[in-house]
Every structure is written in structure tokens, then in C-alpha cells.
Structure 1
Amino acid sequence: MNASRHRSMLLAVTGTALALSLTACQDGSGTKSSSAATPSAPAASSPAATGTSDATDATGSAGSAGSKASAGSTDTSAGSSGTTGKQAAASTPVCTAADVRVTAARQDGPPYTHIVLTAKNTTRHSCRLTGFPHIQFVESHKQDVAAVAKSKPAAPVVLTAGAPAYALVKLSDGGVDENNEPVSAFAVMLEGDSTVITVAAPGSEGIAVDPAKALTGYWTPELRNGADDF
């Protein structure tokens, strides 16, 4: 009887010890699980931080590229502005009869076969002198004197305030048998303006003109050898 009780007590103690051992093992396992979770948190946050850094760098690069593109656009715009000389000239108003004073002077001679017309800007603003002077020397020839194409300038003729432009005009071939007519004054019109400008012929005796041989050059900033030789 005592042996049976002793065995029962021994089994009870053993069972209790085993239960305590299992509990201790479970507690240790829980401790290990908790400590494992602690390093995993930084590991999870590390990629997130790296991703944020990459996103910032990409934004910075894009911003830098955008700034360069913007600077490039500005430079291109500036370049365009620097190459608009002809466009600026085209925007200048065309000279009218009210803007210029036209005079005539002999060139070379004798015989006096050519005169030079000078159109001087008498205003305080710039104007653009286009084409050639439309000249009628005598009443019997109503058509304008023909223009010489080779004298046409390559660039627009823009007259600043007080600046002159010139046109060489052929009167005749200088022959004694030509059908010359004496001219003391003649009519000039500017291209784009129908106003008639009366120009006094140079010299006290005027000029001798053969309307069939007369020619005019284009308005130019200066008389050029060769291009105005006709």
C-alpha cells in the first residue's frame, strides 16, 4: 500500500517536472521568436529607406535635366533673336515721299550720260527704301524708265534718320545723233507710294535725255563699281 502511494507520488512529481520543463521550453521559444522579430524590423525598413533615396535621386536628375533643357531652350531663343536681321528690316516701315528728300547730281562727263539720285531720310525714325525709283523724264514718255536687275542689292535698304541711299540713272549713250530732249525737272515716285516727287535736273542748262536709252539702277546704300556700271 505504501509502495503504491510512493509510486503514485513519484509519477505525480515526474509529471509536474515534465510540465514545467515543457513550459520552460515554450517560454524560451517565445523569447527566441521575439528576438528574431527585432532585427527583422530594421531589415524591412532598410529597403524602404533605400527606395526613398533612389526616388529622390531620380527626381533630382529629372530636375537637373529639366533645367538644362530649359537653358537650352533659352539659348535657342536667343540664337533665333540674333539671326533675325532680315526680319527686323522687313518690319521697318517703307519709306514714303514724306520721309525722304530726293536730289540729282551729275556723274562723270562730259559727255554727261549719267546722273545719281540721292534719297535722304529727313525723319527721326528709320524707314525701308524698296525697289528702284520710278522715273518719267518727259511728258511724251509716260512709261517708267526700265530698271537694271544686276544693281538690285542683296539685303533690304534701311535708312536710319539722316541716312542716304543712291540710284544711278543712265540718260543716254552720249552720241550726237541721239534723240535727246532737254530736261530741267522730272518726276520720281517711290515704290509703294504714288506721290509724285519733282526733282530738279542738275546744272543750269538741265540734262539731255534719250528716253529710249534711259535706265535706272535700284536704290542701294552706296554706289558699287560693276553692279551699277551700265
Structure 2
Amino acid sequence: MFNFRASRTRFVGATATVVLAALSLTACNDGTGARAEGASTTAGKTATASAGTSSSATPSPGSNSSSGSSSSSSSAGSSSGYSGAKPATVTTPRSGTRTSSSKAPGSSGGPVTCEGSNTKTIAAPLNRPVNHMLLTVTNTGSRTCYLYGHPAARFGEEAQSVPPVIEDSKPQAVVTLQPGESGYASVNLSATDGSGSNGYTAKSLWVYFQGRSMSGSVGASAHPSLPAKGVYVDDSLKVTYWQQSMDDAVNW
């Protein structure tokens, strides 16, 4: 009884194995089954490729993808306006345009004539040349002034006329004084060899200024101080033209 059942079990198992093998062989020889297997393989490859593409298109956080960085930089540059965009135009004042802060003191208005109201005159006797005096006129105004011609000097109340000018001392150009600048003229008070006549001691001095035409005086006169003892003058009294420098003035 026991042996029969065991043999029967082996037979059934073997039969089942043969049947399964036959079915498998039939499936392998069937064209439909082969195509199904190929489709399954293709689908698997497609799924794998899709997964790879999805993985590369969406990098994980912290990945260093050059395509992703380039795309981000390009996008950021376009939105910020730096990618190929011109810098903003800066408006500057036109060349030569002046503002109130650029004006130099005393530059408003044109030049005027130097005279007593816009200058200060100082008279100082010189040791060399002897018997000479230096007149210094300083522009105390806020505008440039022209010092025309020569000083018309009147020494004391006794003076009957103003002294003549030394023609050879005439400068090549009109003396021009910016605010604060000075012009000069020298005065030959008396003859050094005593040949002069009609001498007297003057204790006061008035200086008159000439205009552009150099005929007569213009504006206010100056009244510079003289030494307390006064200065001696005679009929050899002469003056130079106004000079731009002191050296040019004392050379006469």
C-alpha cells in the first residue's frame, strides 16, 4: 500500500513536469509570445531611459550640473539687466557751463578803471635811487581794474601843476590789476646834483588817476601819507608811467 502510493506520486510529478515542458516549448515557438517578450524588453529599456532622462533633468539637491548653472546664470542675467545691457546714462553738465560755486571771487562784471575808490595808494621814499619815491597802488575792489597812463601827483599846496611824465618809461601794455594786485610808479623828487630850482618841502600829496583817453582825471583821488618831515621837491620833479612790476618802476 505504501509503495503504490509513492510510485503513483512520482508518476504524477513526472507527468506534470512533461506537460509544463511542452507548454513552455509551445510558448517559445509561438510568434506572439516572442513579440510579447520583445515588447516587454523594449518597454523596460524605454522606462530605464526615461528614468535616466528624468534623473539628469532634475538634479538632486547639491549636484554640480554645468547645464543647470549655465541656465540659471543666463536667466538671472536677463532678469537683472546685466547680460548685454548698456549701463544707465549719467547726465553731466554741458562743457563750459558755469555754476554759482565755480565763479571766482571778483569775476562778476567786466574790468573797471583803477581810481581812488577801488584802490589803496602808498607813497614811500627810496634810498636808491636817491631823491626818489615809490608809489604803490593796490586793487582793493572785487573787479579787475586798468591802471591807465601815469599818476597826476600834486605835492603840497604850493604846487602849481602836476609833474611831467618820463615818456621813455611807457609800458607796452596797460597795467592790469586783479583784486589784490599792485601797480607801481616812481617819482624823481629833485635833481641829485642840486641843479634844480624853485625847491620846497611838501608835507601832503594827492594822486589823481587817468582814464582810457588819458586826458584829465577820473574817479576819486588818493591822499597817501608822507613822512612827518615832508619831502623836498624842485622843478626837476618827474614821474614814470604806471608799471606792472616794482623793478620796472625803480629803474627810472
Q: TM-score range by the shorter chain?
A: 0.5 to 0.7
Task: Return the offset for 1:152.
Answer: 1.1
Q: Percent identity?
A: 26
Distance 1:188 1:146, change over 3 A: same
Which protein has the bigger helix share? 1
Task: Return the offset for 1:205.
Answer: 1.5
Q: Does 1:208 align with 2:232?
A: yes
* Partner residue, 1:128: 146
Q: Does 1:196 align with 2:221?
A: yes
Which letter does structure 1 place at the counterpart of 2:147? L
Task: Return the offset for 1:135.
Answer: 0.8
Deviates further, 145-154 or 135-144: 135-144
Distance 1:131 1:152, change over 3 A: same
- Tell me if structure 2 keeps the 8 A contact 1:217–1:228: no
How many residue pairs get matched? 136
* Partner residue, 2:167: 149
Q: Which structure 1 segments of 5+ residues have no match?
A: 1-90
* Partner residue, 2:245: 222
CA distance in 1, matches of 2:133, 2:199: 15
CA distance in 1, matches of 2:182, 2:242: 10
SS at match of 1:147: coil
Task: Return the offset for 1:175.
Answer: 4.1
CA distance in 2, matches of 1:112, 1:228: 11
Distance 1:94 1:108, change over 3 A: same
* Partner residue, 2:78: none
Which letter does structure 1 place at the counterpart of 2:186? L
Task: Return the offset for 1:171.
Answer: 0.2
- Tell me if structure 1 keeps the 8 A contact 2:111–2:143: no
- Tell me if structure 1 keeps the 8 A contact 2:115–2:221: no
CA distance in 1, matches of 2:203, 2:158: 15
Q: Does 1:105 align with 2:120?
A: no
Determine which structure has more spread, i.e. the larger CA radius of gyration. Answer: 2
Deviations 1:91-135 (A, max 9, x none): 6221121110111111125x8410000000011221111100001
SS at match of 1:189: strand
SS at match of 2:186: strand
Aligned residue among 164, 173, 193 for 2:182: 164
Distance 1:147 1:176, change over 3 A: closer
Task: Return the offset for 1:168.
Answer: 0.7
CA distance in 1, matches of 2:206, 2:220: 10
TM-score, structure 2 as length reference: 0.49
Please give the residue correspondences for 1:1-230 in structure 2 after superposition, counting only pairs within 5 Å: 92-109=111-128, 112-176=130-194, 178=196, 179-192=198-211, 193=218, 195-201=220-226, 203-210=227-234, 212-224=235-247, 229-230=251-252
Which letter does structure 2 place at the counterpart of 1:156? V
CA distance in 2, matches of 1:181, 1:172: 10
Deviates further, 99-108 or 175-184: 175-184
CA distance in 1, matches of 2:202, 2:126: 16
Deviations 1:12-52 (A, max 9, x none): xxxxxxxxxxxxxxxxxxxxxxxxxxxxxxxxxxxxxxxxx
SS at match of 1:98: coil
SS at match of 1:97: coil
CA distance in 2, matches of 1:172, 1:118: 20
TM-score, structure 1 as length reference: 0.54
**Aligned-pair RMSD on alpha carbons?**
2.2
